[in-house]
Amino acid sequence: MHELSITQSILDIALNKAKEANAGKISAVSVTLGELSGIAADCVQFYFNFLTRDTIAAGASLTFEKVPTKLRCRKCDKDFAPEAIAWICPRCHEQSIEIVAGRECYINSIEVE
């Protein structure tokens, strides 16, 4: 159900933007999705097809730009990608880590006609 509400907000934003642009049809929507967002792209795709049926976004293509997880050590500032379940800095072995990228979920582009 998480994905349903997210898809609904994606669609609401896209419809508002299309309205602002006086567009009659939305042909494509691209969404940036972080690996850590916990959002399943195929679920969003499914709900998107369902929710757009009676809108100007019906038949629009939905694409996802996946963002890999990027972490940063709070102690030595090293950026790294997590390799295992444990998030430990590969340089100084500090366990105090912040998430720099990977939680994204937003529309990065909308194509209208």
Q: Is 94 in the site for Zn ion (CB under 5 A)?
A: yes
Q: Is 89 in the site for Zn ion (CB under 5 A)?
A: yes
Q: Which of 29/73 has CB closer to Zn ion? A: 73
Cβ partners under 8 Å of residue 23, min gap 6:
56, 112, 113
Using the rule CB under 5 A, which residue among 40, 58, 76, 100 binds Zn ion? Answer: 76
Q: By the 8 A CB rule, do 56 and 29 touch?
A: no
Using the rule CB under 5 A, which residue among 92, 100, 109, 113 binds Zn ion? Answer: 92
Q: Indicate if the alpha-carbon torsion angle 48, 7, 61, 55 is positive or negative.
A: positive
The contact mask relative to Zn ion for 10-49 (x = CB under 5 A, - = no) is ----------------------------------------
| Residue 86 CB neighbours (<10 A) | 8
Strand partners, 101: 70
Where do contacts with Zn ion occur on this chain (CB under 5 A)?
Answer: 73, 75-76, 78, 89, 91-92, 94
